[in-house]
Amino acid sequence: MSYEHFLDSLTDAEPPDDVELALRALWYDANGRADSAMRAAASASDHTCKRVRAYLHRKAGDAEQATLWYYRCGAAPWTGSTQSEWEDIVHTVMADRVVASAYR
């Protein structure tokens, strides 16, 4: 799935079936479903889901929890807009897909 395809899917009723949990969480977030976004991000313990959790806490205004989750994923706290962070995470997941497919 490309970045553009993912963006196009934001108008669908449900997230695509073939996306990582981090993307599923970001899909829910973009569609105003914060509880579903947090559940999706919390259902895995990989680096990217931890970063999504940091982003979601930051977006919700919970700086303390955001800082904790940035620490847990090994990332510096994001200082730009939440929209730019959302886009960065999506791009990161897409890049990770390309790298992973190169080693299969």
pLDDT tens digit sequence for 40-83: 999 999 999 999 999 999 999 999 999 999 999 999 999 999 99
**Domain range summary for the chain, segments of one domain joined by +:** 3-102
SS3 string of the chain?
Answer: CCHHHHHHHCCCCCCCCCCCHHHHHHHHHHCCCHHHHHHHHHCCCCHHHHHHHHHHHHHCCCHHHHHHHHHHHCCCCCCCCHHHHHHHHHHHHHHHHHHHHHCC
Q: Judge whether residue 5 has pLDDT over 80.
A: yes
| Residue 66 structure tokens | 């955001």
Distance of CA 39 to CAs 2, 14, 100, 104, Å?
24, 15, 25, 30
pLDDT value of position 101: 78
Residue 104 has pLDDT above 80, yes or no: no
pLDDT for the residue numbered 103 = 84
Is the model's pLDDT at 98 over the cut of 90?
no
